[in-house]
């Protein structure tokens, strides 16, 4: 009990101290301005006082605004989610810390802020603004992804296409809310549930909305284990949730090598604007599957992707500077983002049930894997596995769910390419 009071007293004392400091310096300002012969007495005492005043004016306390506090709380919440609930910690810790960095109040004009040209943060942000980081992330994803579940059962790729309903439904929704077509396209890509793709497209189509779009995409990706299960239970009847799928066939090495080569040629001939993303994704996979470039594949899937994730996360977080980020448009984007994840999940699930109408015997699929069509790799596949286990402990759906999951990555990148070619 005593301990509790002690904490409150310390917190109160800190607040009182800060207010006193601000008040004292306020009075000093007023006194310095009003004092008779103030200009004449600008001697040694005045210099010391000026120094103190100048120091105070540079501190975060003097430049503090309530919007900074709001964003700092958001940043702390991200860090809390990552540590306490293990929600995408590799993303939420850098982004959360980036939000803290971006919302420290400072005096503009001294090359500190992320939006001030010449500042260190601005140089790091260049990779986001120019869409450099997302393709590098895709290279790493390609080098760590095993497409064999997809190759062994190619029809599951349709689920990855169906879940892209989220992108296009959000595009319509954003247009209806009054965003221009470019902005609507950039917001729509949140439904692809793919952070790098969202950053890439918004950097090209609507750079001013990129902070909000990236934060929405990454936070909803982290919240996939919260968003998807209720929708799965709503759309898939209990009986269908228990369907066991036949194990995937063994895939030969030749097929594994052919997949990225054919995938690269085919998808990029259809949507060349997706070249930076899909090109790097399939390039990474060729490095992995060729079997002769293990060193390059290893660097891509470990060192490179880790470095880029750090830079991307912290700069995207820092781009949420309160004065730029806290707008009505951001709120709309967050609303549309939540809706897009739900629509994408529902699209995949409904399509899986429709597919089952045409499949016979042991070819039937467990419709829950449709939820993995949103490309949040591998979280949505993990959600499907957990839901499958809840209904039947002997039913392992992870490998099957990985197929629509990785095809969702391809699908959302193709979708981004198409939106670019229409709207750029």
Partner 1 sequence: MTILEVSSQTWIITLVGWSVVFVALFLLIFIFNNIPKLLKMNFKREKTAKPQKVQTETAGDKYISGDETAAIAMAIHMFFEEQHDEESNIITIKRIERRYSPWSSKIYGLRNFPN
User: Given the rule CB under 8 A, which residues bind partner 1?
Assistant: 150-151, 154-155, 157-158, 160-161, 164-165, 167-169, 171-172, 175-176, 181, 184-185, 247, 249-250, 252, 254-255, 258-259, 262-263, 266-267, 270-271, 407, 410-411, 414-415, 418-419, 422-423
DSSP-derived secondary structure for 374-386 = S--TTHHHHHHHH
User: Among residues 1 and 357, whose Cβ is nearest to partner 1?
Assistant: 357
CA distances, 271 to each of 123, 158, 279, 374 (Å): 30, 18, 11, 20
Residues of the chain by 3-state class (helix, strand, coil), percent to 5: 80, 0, 20
Element (H, E) at 234: helix 224-235
Distance of closest approach, residue 71 Cβ to partner 1, in angstroms: 32
Distance of closest approach, residue 353 Cβ to partner 1, in angstroms: 17
Distance of closest approach, residue 198 Cβ to partner 1, in angstroms: 16
Report which DSSP code applies to 236: S
Distance of closest approach, residue 56 Cβ to partner 1, in angstroms: 52
User: Among residues 113 and 166, whose Cβ is nearest to partner 1?
Assistant: 166
Give the side-chain half-sphere CA count within 13 A for 15: 6
Taking the C-alpha atoms of residue 301 and residue 184, their distance in angstroms, rounded to an integer, is 32
Distance of closest approach, residue 391 Cβ to partner 1, in angstroms: 19
Q: What are the structure tokens assigned to 260, written together?
A: 């990225």
User: Among residues 57 and 252, whose Cβ is nearest to partner 1?
Assistant: 252
CA distances, 182 to each of 61, 178, 286, 327 (Å): 39, 11, 33, 18
- Coil vs helix vs strand at 164: coil
Q: What are the structure tokens assigned to 407, written together?
A: 């095809």
User: Among residues 174 and 322, whose Cβ is nearest to partner 1?
Assistant: 174
User: Among residues 102 and 260, whose Cβ is nearest to partner 1?
Assistant: 260
User: Among residues 98 and 166, whose Cβ is nearest to partner 1?
Assistant: 166
Phi, psi dihedral angles at 245 (to 5 degrees)? -100, 150
Return left, alpha or beta for 109; rule: phi > 0 is left, psi -120 to 50 is alpha, else beta.
Answer: left
User: Among residues 5 and 269, whose Cβ is nearest to partner 1?
Assistant: 269
**Residue position matching structure tokens 């803290």:** 100
Distance of closest approach, residue 178 Cβ to partner 1, in angstroms: 9
Taking the C-alpha atoms of residue 369 and residue 359, their distance in angstroms, rounded to an integer, is 15
Distance of closest approach, residue 246 Cβ to partner 1, in angstroms: 8
Distance of closest approach, residue 247 Cβ to partner 1, in angstroms: 4
User: Among residues 53 and 244, whose Cβ is nearest to partner 1?
Assistant: 244
Distance of closest approach, residue 390 Cβ to partner 1, in angstroms: 21
User: Among residues 61 and 422, whose Cβ is nearest to partner 1?
Assistant: 422
Taking the C-alpha atoms of residue 417 and residue 220, their distance in angstroms, rounded to an integer, is 22
Q: Which of 390, 391, 381, 348 is nearest to 367 (CA)?
A: 348
User: Among residues 97 and 412, whose Cβ is nearest to partner 1?
Assistant: 412
Distance of closest approach, residue 388 Cβ to partner 1, in angstroms: 15
Distance of closest approach, residue 155 Cβ to partner 1, in angstroms: 6
User: Among residues 191 and 284, whose Cβ is nearest to partner 1?
Assistant: 191
**CB distance 290 to 118 below 8 Å:** no
Long-range (24+ apart) CB contacts under 8 A made by 56-60 are: 56/21, 56/25, 57/107, 58/106, 58/107, 60/104, 60/105, 60/106
**Residue position matching structure tokens 């939420």:** 92
Q: What are the structure tokens assigned to 247, written together?
A: 């194990």
Q: Which of 374, 154, 183, 344 is nearest to 266 (CA)?
A: 154
């Amino acid at each position: 009990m005593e301990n509790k009071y002690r904490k409150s007293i310390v917190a109160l004392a800190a607040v009182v101290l800060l207010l006193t400091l601000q008040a004292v310096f306020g009075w000093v300002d007023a006194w310095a301005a009003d004092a008779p012969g103030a200009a004449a007495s600008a001697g040694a005492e005045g210099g010391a006082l000026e120094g103190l005043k100048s120091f105070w004016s540079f501190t975060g306390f003097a430049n503090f605004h309530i919007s900074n506090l709001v964003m700092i709380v958001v940043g702390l919440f991200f860090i809390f989610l990552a540590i306490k609930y293990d929600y995408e910690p590799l993303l939420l810790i850098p982004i959360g810390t980036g939000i803290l960095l971006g919302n420290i109040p400072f005096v503009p004009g001294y090359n500190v802020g992320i939006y001030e040209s010449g500042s260190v943060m601005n140089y790091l942000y260049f990779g986001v603004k120019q869409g450099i980081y997302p393709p590098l992330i895709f290279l790493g994803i390609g080098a760590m992804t095993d497409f064999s579940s997809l190759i062994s059962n190619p029809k599951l790729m349709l689920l990855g296409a169906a879940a892209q309903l989220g992108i296009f439904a959000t595009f319509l929704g954003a247009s209806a809310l009054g965003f221009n077509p470019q902005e609507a396209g950039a917001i729509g890509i949140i439904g692809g549930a793919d952070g790098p793709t969202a950053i890439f497209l918004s950097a090209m189509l609507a750079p001013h909305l990129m902070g909000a779009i990236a934060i929405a995409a990454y936070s909803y990706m982290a919240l996939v284990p919260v968003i998807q299960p209720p929708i799965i239970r709503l759309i898939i009847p209990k009986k269908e949730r228990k369907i066991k799928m036949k194990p995937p066939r063994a895939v030969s090495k030749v097929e594994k090598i052919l997949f990225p080569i054919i995938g690269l040629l085919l998808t990029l001939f259809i949507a060349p604007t997706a070249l930076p993303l899909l090109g790097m994704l399939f390039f990474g996979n060729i490095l992995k599957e060729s079997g002769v470039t293990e060193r390059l594949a290893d660097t891509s899937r470990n060192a490179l992707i880790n470095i880029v994730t750090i830079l991307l996360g912290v700069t995207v977080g820092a781009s949420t500077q309160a004065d730029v980020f806290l707008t009505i448009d951001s709120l709309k984007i967050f609303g549309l983002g939540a809706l897009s994840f739900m629509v994408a999940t529902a699209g995949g699930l409904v399509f899986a049930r429709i597919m089952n109408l045409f499949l016979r015997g042991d070819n039937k699929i467990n419709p829950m894997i449709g939820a993995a069509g949103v490309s949040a790799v591998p979280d949505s596949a993990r959600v499907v596995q957990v839901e499958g286990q809840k209904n039947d402990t002997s039913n392992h759906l992870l490998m099957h769910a990985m197929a629509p999951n990785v095809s969702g990555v391809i699908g959302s990148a193709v979708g981004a390419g198409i939106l670019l070619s229409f709207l750029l």
